[in-house]
Amino acid sequence: MLETAALFQHKKANADKLKAFGFRHQNGAYVYEHPLTEAQLLMTVTIDADGMVTTCIRDPESGDEYLLHRLAETAGPFVGMVRSAHDELLEKIAQQCFEPDVFRSTYAQKVIDYIDATYHDQLEFLWPKFPHNAVWRRQDTHKWYGALLLVHPSKLGLDGTDDIEIIDLRMEPGKLAELLDNQKYFPGYHMNKKHWYTVCLNGIVPLDELFLRIDESYLLAVK
């Protein structure tokens, strides 16, 4: 059975998509009811105001809640069918009604807003196996000029246990050596280190300075 919290981690619900899917707004939450026809049960999916997703499966006639699908030790064709239907519906909702919500810091949001306002480019999440990695690319050349990632600080040789937000940007090779200091500017993480460098989005680089770096990276993504 799917771990619901993990499935919807770093995702946010889109209200318009929820309504199009069939959710109804009720008492501050979005509620969707789906009959599990073969099992003759009714599954209810609730998304509260904080985005928490919960499910409940009941017998529509008696109103009794069905719980066996939640118990790992239970097996058999019927409970297997219920688990499969439960997981398939949640995966469908995650795919059709939710959007990535990985980069939540104020600093990262200001960077996202700047690129949207200046270049009208949106983050692209290209790798399902790496949902914490996204890129921006120019609309004319389709070349990447920025990547936004969530990584463990040890990847940059830093201390700490919580993941940090970073941005990768382009730089002319001849200028990289004098820029890198492993405090504000790091060798490009997961990129060609001859052409890319990394900045932690923790405020150590002022936004005005970072915006200029983004502009420079954009101009370099031409061929």
* H/E run at residue 164: strand 164-170
- Do 84 and 158 lie in one domain? The reply is no
Q: DSSP characters for 78-138? A: HHHHHHHHHHHHHHHHHHHHEEE----SHHHHHHHHHHHHHH----B---TT-TTEEEEE-
Both tokens assigned to 66: 């069905």
**Nearest Cα residue to 91 out of 41, 53, 51:** 53
Note the Cα 106 to chain centre separation in Å.
16
Type of residue numbered 102: V
- Do 119 and 50 lie in one domain? The reply is no
- Do 113 and 53 lie in one domain? The reply is no
- Do 117 and 94 lie in one domain? The reply is no
- Do 27 and 51 lie in one domain? The reply is yes
**CB of 134 closer than 8 Å to CB of 112:** no
Type of residue numbered 11: K
Largest CA distance in the chain: 74
**Domain tally, the chain:** 2
Examine the fold and report which residue of 73, 100, 127 is the final residue of a domain before the chain moves on.
Answer: 100
- Do 95 and 119 lie in one domain? The reply is no
**CB of 147 closer than 8 Å to CB of 217:** no
List the domain range (segments joined by +) for residue 152: 106-220
- Do 113 and 87 lie in one domain? The reply is no
- Do 24 and 118 lie in one domain? The reply is no
The Cα–Cα gap between 125 and 212 comes to 24
Examine the fold and report which residue of 58, 76, 100 is the final residue of a domain before the chain moves on.
Answer: 100
Per-residue pLDDT of the chain (223 residues; tens, 9 = 90+): 678 888 888 888 999 999 999 999 999 999 999 999 787 999 999 999 999 999 999 999 999 999 999 888 899 999 999 999 999 999 999 999 998 888 889 999 999 999 999 999 999 998 878 888 999 999 999 999 999 999 999 999 999 999 999 999 999 998 998 999 999 999 999 899 999 999 999 999 999 999 999 999 999 999 7
- Do 125 and 174 lie in one domain? The reply is yes
Examine the fold and report which residue of 67, 100, 133 is the final residue of a domain before the chain moves on.
Answer: 100
pLDDT of residue 80: 92
- Do 21 and 42 lie in one domain? The reply is yes
- Do 120 and 211 lie in one domain? The reply is yes
The Cα–Cα gap between 44 and 93 comes to 12
Give the β-pairing of 164-170 and 144-151: antiparallel
CATH number at residue 153: 3.90.1150.30
Backbone angles phi, psi at 203, to 5 degrees: 95, -5
pLDDT of residue 1: 66
pLDDT of residue 128: 78
* H/E run at residue 46: strand 41-47
- Do 84 and 128 lie in one domain? The reply is no
